[in-house]
Structure 1
Amino acid sequence: MNLNKYIDHTFLKANGRQKDIDKLIEEGIKYDFKSLCINPSWVEYVSEKLKDSDVLVCTVIGFPLGAMTTESKIFETSDAISKGADEIDMVINVGRLKDRDLDYVTKEIKAVKNACQDRVLKVIIETSLLDEEEIRLAAQAVVDAGADFVKTSTGFSTRGASVEDVKIIKEVVGDKAKIKASGGIRSHEDMMKMIEAGADRIGASAGATLLG
């Protein structure tokens, strides 16, 4: 098991400076992580720095609230891809999901997936704001829309991922979509518990620590 390739090494803080991104890039290349996950304004810079490595460029869309228009998410996605993004992590409209407007949520995911072209789309459902039934509905919407991953959390809400979240999502998606556990995963033990529960990818700012 190449644990390094489970990890999206992440820096998404609003006050991130170039020195922080340079450190992320250095660590990403050193440990050969699956991807570096950064805010969209850094995509072009990081893409250039990673061009001679097999570390992917991941960025976030509609982040962290998910409450902007579908059109703005589509634009952000297309812009990020044009600047070198390999993977897209988008936030759903949580309020619409809680109102059971599943048609809106599914159509929006589908529209962003279409804008992704052939890139991987991970859909952040923000499990900390959902009850179990809502987690199931959100995970099903991701499958119905044809996205690639259900992602638990932004890491910017009331809590990050839990093992229980991952198990619930896995029950819904089976092998129809993959799962990214993100937020609050800070140790090798944390990561292994998430993988055992069904996670295929781990989003974390402490990538090197997770390797043990």
Structure 2
Amino acid sequence: MYNIKNSKELASLINYTNLNNMISENEMKDFLEKAKELNFNSVVISPTYVPLAKEILSDTNIKIGSVVGFPLGFEDTESKVKASEELIKKGADEIEVVMNLSHLKDEKYSLLENEIGQIKKTIGDKVLKVIIETKALEDYEKANAAKVAEKGGADYVKNSTGFVAPNHIYENVNDINIIQKYAPKIKIEMYGGINEYKFANQVLTGGADKIASDQGYEIVKRYKELRENTQVKPKPITLTKKD
């Protein structure tokens, strides 16, 4: 299993996610305060709340991630590039763009590579993640999607929008293996159904670089309760044999 040393390290591997399209501002503030409490690697939120996150998280090193072409990915390239540019201006550090699966199905790889390349050029040194929705794809399509993302200059491949996601560790590991084989230079983020520590640990052990979870706060708090906040007093022992 993945050797998590403490809750701080665990939080650094989690992108705490809330893409609820009906969340109120006060609820988002509460979410962001929870992110501050545990110091996650990043938050992943809707474009609506990027300026708010920039304000609340200004005194932390938590990165702000947001989505483009979410959740279907069928917007044209110009729209995705413009949306990415606007998010960076508002304070986003990471852009997660959904791949156009129609183009993937039609094997229009040059169009996909060009789109990813344009977005990466626009956002510069900010992180670009390409969501490829593996649950909707055959294995060979996952391989081609990963190759296109790598060639286009993306920093990460992400397996899911969360709407359809692998529901078993073996599916997750299969996806990780495919991405590692066909796009060995790109990093991997896994999302969807990772709602408790055991599953999170299994996915990290399987080769993911980061995990995203709506339940990130609960995962880390539970880990702290079990590993760091439990006081165990050992019984006294004697090293000599009693008569």
The TM-score with structure 2 as length reference comes to 0.84
Check if 1:137 corresponds to 2:144: yes
Matches within 5 A, 1:149-168: 149-157=156-164, 159=166, 162-168=172-178
C-alpha separation in 2, matches of 1:116 and 1:128: 28
- Structure 1 residue aligned with 2:205: 196
- Bigger radius of gyration among the two: 2
Q: Deviations over 1:11-38 (max 9, x none)?
A: 0011111122112101110110001100
Query: What stretches of structure 1 of length at least 5 have no aligned partner?
Result: none
Matches within 5 A, 1:90-109: 90-109=97-116
Give the deviation of 1:116 after TM superposition.
1.2
CA contact (8 A) 1:185 1:191 kept: yes
Q: 1:162 is paired with a residue of what secondary structure?
A: helix
Q: 1:58 is paired with a residue of what secondary structure?
A: strand
Check if 1:20 corresponds to 2:27: yes
Which residue identity is paired with 1:153? S
Q: 1:52 is paired with a residue of what secondary structure?
A: coil
C-alpha separation in 2, matches of 1:210 and 1:99: 39
- Structure 1 residue aligned with 2:51: 44
Give the deviation of 1:158 after TM superposition.
5.9
Give the deviation of 1:159 after TM superposition.
4.9
Q: Deviations over 1:47-100 (max 9, x none)?
A: 111000111111011101000010110111000000000111110101110111
C-alpha separation in 2, matches of 1:159 and 1:177: 20
Check if 1:112 corresponds to 2:122: no
Matches within 5 A, 1:50-89: 50-89=57-96
Q: Say what the alpha-carbon RMSD is for the aligned residues.
A: 1.3
Check if 1:180 corresponds to 2:171: no
Give the deviation of 1:163 after TM superposition.
2.5
Give the deviation of 1:115 after TM superposition.
1.4
Sequence identity of aligned pairs in percent?
36
Which residue identity is paired with 2:173? V
C-alpha separation in 1, matches of 2:26 and 2:133: 29
Query: What stretches of structure 2 of length at least 5 have no aligned partner?
Result: 224-243
Q: Pick the aligned partner of 1:207 from 192, 203, 216.
A: 216
CA contact (8 A) 2:165 2:191 kept: no
Give the deviation of 1:189 after TM superposition.
1.1
CA contact (8 A) 1:24 1:36 kept: no
Which residue identity is paired with 2:35? G
Give the deviation of 1:162 after TM superposition.
2.2
Which residue identity is paired with 2:128? L
C-alpha separation in 1, matches of 2:132 and 2:89: 25
C-alpha separation in 1, matches of 2:40 and 2:204: 16
